[in-house]
């Protein structure tokens, strides 16, 4: 490799890393633009789990007509509360966000503070037929519950109310008489009744206290089936329980275990739990849970669910094992064609596609799209975690490759721009300019402490002089669950021959950050504002 390698590895470890680099380079050179989800959905007469290998936790899922909707957590990424849509429960597309702007405090603008591991999580999403309105609600920072509404999942979404109660891990039920209820809580499970317009709390009542031998129940999802009321709760992170009331939404409730230590044939993955149920047009039921799959995050798995004569649900398992493949749901074929999860985004419109989310709120005066993505420097910093306008994209697992084409000719001295593997332990490949000279570098060991403050701003492990102009930056990510997964960074000056840069970056698979790794596109200034870069395209491929 040309240039200066700052950190060299020798001995047996170097042999293992060299083998890995060779394998990853092969992966880089043989991309296939086939949607992973679409590939899985067409294997025989069944579908494969995970149905979507992306970080989409705290699932709420329901059907409106022939469309299925799915909401998930996304913490401090903006816009918040992503919404997906499907017509077969297997293939999904991003359609919008329920929270247009994280307006909860200046920290969400990286102004005087940070909001990492805050924001929107374990919220509810539902549809009210009587007024043809979607409702989203979630507790922010363990304080108050924010309610947003929209005429469609795509929006426009508007904040309608702030309720002075934290509906922790909340699930929404709209009863047969159109009354809205919310189940919520940790250990102590409560049910709140909302006002007719869904913007105020009429009453709230404790309906269940978790027994000591169970410990913690949370993650409520609220349903009415055959006249009975059910609250699905998780015991993190290895079990799912169901509460049932035959006397109304306020109980009394009895409890039965649905899942415990359920196996799934994904090495290193956790137990399916904390999900939601949905009924198809033909009356069949499915349970969608997530599995912990760090370093990639928490990904959804789907299984059939049936109701017994005793009124309790059962997930279809074999020897307490969640199958990797089930028969496809018997759902009428749809004429809707969903976009591929892989391919190229050339940023041809002034608005970003809904799969994109910024790290905290962006400074909208410092970016534009339409003929590529232009990122002006929005922050004077030498800290990736403090830089505004880092644009993130979920990684498609278990392995995928992201490539951006970046024009660096308008950078200023001290600017740093590139493509990152972004999480509480990060690394990137990018371009720096100093005294008019350009270098492509690989930086790693960018870390946060346990309070999500920056612990280390990183070290450069390789740098190569380049000329100003277009450069292709690439990262190949292996996010199979488990330790010692790696990402390999590379670059090209012609878009054809890619040169591996630096050393493979070992991904952090601790769960405490909650969100998994993402691809991140960034540009910040270390000396003075005024520079900019243009990203003409972002491509994601899978082997």
Handedness of CA 48, 50, 56, 59 (dihedral sign): positive
Contact indicator for 68, 281 with CB cutoff of 8 Å: no
Q: What is the mean pLDDT of residues 457-481?
A: 98
Residue 308 CB burial class (10 angstroms; 0-12, 13-18, ≥19): exposed
Alpha-helical (H) ranges within 50-94 are none
Give span(s): CATH 2.60.120.200, the chain.
Answer: 4-30+342-541
CA 406 – CA 536 distance, rounded (Å): 6
Q: Is residue 2 over pLDDT 70?
A: no
Q: Which CATH number fits domain 63-327: 2.115.10.20, 2.40.110.20, 3.40.50.10490, 3.20.20.70?
A: 2.115.10.20
Q: What would the mean pLDDT of 324-352 be, rounded to a whole number?
A: 96
In whole angstroms, what is the distance from residue 395 CA to residue 409 CA?
Answer: 28
Q: Which of 366, 459, 381 is nearest to 415 (CA)?
A: 381
Please compute, for residue 305, the number of CA atoms within 13 A of its CA located in the half-sphere on the CB side: 21
Alpha-carbon torsion 203, 242, 80, 106, what sign? positive
The b/e string for 78-96 (b: 16+ C-beta within 10 A; e otherwise) is bbbbbbbbbbbbbbbbbbb
What string of H, E and C letters represents the secondary structure of 191-231?
EEEECCCCCCEEEEEEEEECCCCCCCCEEEEEEEECCEEEE
Whats the size of the chain, residue-wise? 543
- CA separation for the pair 104, 109 (Å, rounded): 10
Phi, psi angle pair for 28, to nearest 5°: -65, -35
| pLDDT of res. 45 | 80
pLDDT digits (tens, 9 = 90+) for 132-158: 999 999 999 999 999 999 999 999 999
Mean pLDDT of 443-458: 97
CATH number of 4-30+342-541: 2.60.120.200
Residue 160 to residue 370: CA distance in whole angstroms? 31
384 and 522 Cβ atoms separated by less than 8 Å = yes
Residue 253 has pLDDT above 80, yes or no: yes
Mind listing the pLDDT tens digit for each residue in 185-198?
999 999 999 999 99
Specify the residue for token string 């789990």.
49
Kindly tell me if the per-residue pLDDT of 487 is higher than 80: yes
Structure tokens at 71: 């909401």
Q: For CATH 2.115.10.20, list the domain ranges present in the chain.
A: 63-327
| Range with the poorest average pLDDT among 19-28, 61-70, 282-291 | 19-28
pLDDT digits (tens, 9 = 90+) for 271-319: 999 999 999 999 999 999 999 999 999 999 999 999 999 999 999 999 9
Q: Distance (Å, rounded) from C-alpha 75 to C-alpha 168? A: 14
Least confidently predicted of 1-5, 205-209, 512-516: 1-5
pTM of the predicted model as reported, rounded to 2 decimal places: 0.92
Give the pLDDT confidence of 455-468 residue by residue, as tens digits. 999 999 999 999 99
**To the nearest 10°, the Cα dihedral for 378, 79, 479, 384?**
20
Task: Identify the sign of the CA torsion 481, 73, 358, 348.
Answer: positive
Residue 537 parent element (H or E): strand 532-541
């Amino acid at each position: 490799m040309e240039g200066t390698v700052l950190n060299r590895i020798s001995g047996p470890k170097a042999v293992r890393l060299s083998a890995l680099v060779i394998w990853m380079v092969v992966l880089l050179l043989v991309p296939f633009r086939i949607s992973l989800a679409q590939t899985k959905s067409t294997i025989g007469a069944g579908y494969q789990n995970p149905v979507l290998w992306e970080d989409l936790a705290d699932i709420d899922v329901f059907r409106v007509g022939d469309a299925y909707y799915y909401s998930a957590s996304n913490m401090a990424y903006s816009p918040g509360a992503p919404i997906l849509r499907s017509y077969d429960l297997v293939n999904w597309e991003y359609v919008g966000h329920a929270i247009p702007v994280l307006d909860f405090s200046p920290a969400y603008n990286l102004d005087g503070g940070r909001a990492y591991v805050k924001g929107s999580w374990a919220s509810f999403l539902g549809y009210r037929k009587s007024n043809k309105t979607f409702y989203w609600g979630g507790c922010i920072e363990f304080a108050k519950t924010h309610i947003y509404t929209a005429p469609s999942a795509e929006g426009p979404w508007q904040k309608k109310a702030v309720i002075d109660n934290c509906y922790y891990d909340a699930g929404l039920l709209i009863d047969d008489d159109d009354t809205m209820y919310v189940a919520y809580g940790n250990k102590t499970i409560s049910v709140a009744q909302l006002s007719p317009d869904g913007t105020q709390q009429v009453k709230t009542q404790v309906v269940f206290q978790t027994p000591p031998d169970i410990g913690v129940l949370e993650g409520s999802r609220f349903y009415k089936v055959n006249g009975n009321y059910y609250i699905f709760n998780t015991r993190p992170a290895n079990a799912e329980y169901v509460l049932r009331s035959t006397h109304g939404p306020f109980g009394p409730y009895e409890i039965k275990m649905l899942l415990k230590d359920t196996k799934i044939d994904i090495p290193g993955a956790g137990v399916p739990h904390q999900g939601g149920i949905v009924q198809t047009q033909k009356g069949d039921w499915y349970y969608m849970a997530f599995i912990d799959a760090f370093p990639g995050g928490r990904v959804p798995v789907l299984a059939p669910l049936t109701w017994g004569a005793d009124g309790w649900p059962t997930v279809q398992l074999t020897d307490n094992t969640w199958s990797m493949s089930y028969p496809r749901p018997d759902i009428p074929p749809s004429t809707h064609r969903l976009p591929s999860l892989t391919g190229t985004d050339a940023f041809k419109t002034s608005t970003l596609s809904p799969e994109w989310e910024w790290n905290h709120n962006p400074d909208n005066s410092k970016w534009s799209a339409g003929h590529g993505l232009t990122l002006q420097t929005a922050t004077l910093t030498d800290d990736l975690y403090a830089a505004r306008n880092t644009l993130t994209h979920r990684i498609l697992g278990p392995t995928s490759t992201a490539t951006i084409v970046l024009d660096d000719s308008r950078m200023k001295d001290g600017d740093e721009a590139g493509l990152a593997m972004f999480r509480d332990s990060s690394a990137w490949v990018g371009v720096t300019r100093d005294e008019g000279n350009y270098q492509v570098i690989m930086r790693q060991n960018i870390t946060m402490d346990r309070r999500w403050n920056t612990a280390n701003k990183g070290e450069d492990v390789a740098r190569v002089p380049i000329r100003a102009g277009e450069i292709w930056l690439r990262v190949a990510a292996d996010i199979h669950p488990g330790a010692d997964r790696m990402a390999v960074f590379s670059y090209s000056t012609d878009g054809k021959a890619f040169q591996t840069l630096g050393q493979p970056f070992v991904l952090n698979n601790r769960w405490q950050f909650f969100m998994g790794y993402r691809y991140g596109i960034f540009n910040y200034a270390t000396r003075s504002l005024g520079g900019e870069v243009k990203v003409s395209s972002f491509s994601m491929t899978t082997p």
